[in-house]
Amino acid sequence: MSNVWQCLDNIYGLGGVPAVWRSWLGGEFATFERAFLERRAEPAVSYPCPQECGCSHDLVERADGSYLAVCTCDPWNCDDFAVLRDEAALLELNWPRLGRAICKAFECDYRETDLHVPLTRQIGSKFASAVPVVLAIQNARDEFRQAVVGVVAQLGRPFILLGPTSRFLDANSIGLLRGARAEFFDLASHVMLLPGGVLQARKSGGELFSRFLPQPSEPASDNEARRLFALMEALETESNYHKAPVTRVFQLYCKDGLSRDEVARQCHCVPSLITLRLQAIERKLGRKPAELRQFSSQFERISDSLSDDRAAHIHRKSAIDDSGSDSED
């Protein structure tokens, strides 16, 4: 497990002097600081005791700009010591930066929303149905459970809940999530921090969160699937788009369940172009792209069947040609 996710579980209030962050992050401190921490304008007011006795020293500014860490034990127990100005800085987690990085790793749309729940925010949405993606960073089991209760009450719909680790997930929280048709995913199991400060998902968001894909409301007939598939092929031939071809857009939007913005990122184009492709699909097929998801598996079978038929035809033609050549010799 990366030190990053354990660190977020353990730093109360997600703020502290560099020594506190460094003690948990170890060799990942410099990378994580550049990527996801911000320095407050005002310095910290306390500093952890280097003797690890459990006390904090009050920081008192001196004339030269450095600080003196004064023991607050009663009775006095630890020596006072000097602290450089940079080491007295208060570093806090930058939620928007971390939220954007997580959304990018899971190919979600970044959308930060204050849920009025402590240390918990909606950071984005997934799939065209805009399933909320929520990040909760708590420091205790009871606080985590209260956060789950708050999110369930605020959203009133299924959602994806992320947290640094599963340390605070218990049976009560699982029951609350199940009742809301929500699910918890820990970042420690699914996301890595790369040396450049980029977060990388071990499994794509589409695969990991596939349970949240919209389900078809009614079975789709094979005849209708073949008719729509033929129209899709005709549209591909007619349009001949080099950027964001309609079949690629259909694959990403209808089969993989990505949102318009996610499809645009995959196709390396602007979201407005994806909107035009989706409109073209709707005009040609007479169905909204979201409705076409129920045909995606059938489209795939039809495509595979046609590929097999074409391959067999080529094989048969080759065999006939070879046979003809032999008879002439």
Tens of pLDDT along 100-114? 999 999 989 999 999
The CATH number covering residue 299 comes to 1.10.10
- 68 and 87 in a single domain? The answer is yes
Q: What does the chain come to in residues?
A: 329
Same domain for 131 and 238, yes or no, is no
65's tokens:
């700009």
In a domain, 31, yes or no: yes
pLDDT at position 315 is: 46
Residue-wise DSSP of 191-214: EEE-TTS-EEESS-HHHHTGGGSP
Q: Do residues 60 and 75 both lie within one domain?
A: yes
Alpha-carbon distance 46 to 44, whole Å?
6
Same-domain check for residues 161 and 144: yes
- Where would I find the H helices in the chain? 3-10, 18-25, 29-36, 95-106, 141-155, 171-179, 187-190, 205-208, 222-239, 246-250, 260-267, 271-285, 296-328
Q: Are residue 121 and residue 133 in the same domain, yes or no?
A: yes
Predicted local distance difference test score (pLDDT) of residue 192: 95
- Cβ-based neighbours of 19, under 8 Å, separated by 6 or more: 47, 48, 87
Q: How far is CA 323 from CA 313, 315, 329, in A?
A: 15, 12, 11
Number of structural domains found in the chain: 3
Do 124 and 88 fall within a single domain? no
Torsion of CA 1, 111, 260, 177, to 10 degrees: 60
Residues 189 and 199 placed together within one structural domain of the fold: yes
For the cut 70, the answer to whether the pLDDT of residue 323 exceeds it is no
Tens of pLDDT, residues 114-172: 999 999 999 999 987 889 999 999 999 999 999 999 999 999 999 999 999 999 999 99
Note whether residue 298 is domain-resident.
yes
pLDDT digits (tens, 9 = 90+) for 226-263: 888 788 788 888 877 888 898 888 888 877 778 888 89
Residue with tokens 């998902």: 201
* Residue 172 within any structural domain of the chain: yes
Q: Please check whether residue 316 lies inside any domain of the structure.
A: no
Q: Residue 65 pLDDT > 70, yes or no?
A: yes
**Which pLDDT score is estimated for 325?**
45
Last residue of a domain, one of 145, 180, 212: 212
Q: Report whether pLDDT(39) > 90.
A: yes
Residue 310: pLDDT over 60 = no
What pLDDT score does 2 carry? 64
Q: Is the pLDDT of residue 93 over 80?
A: yes
* Domain that includes residue 252, residue range: 222-306
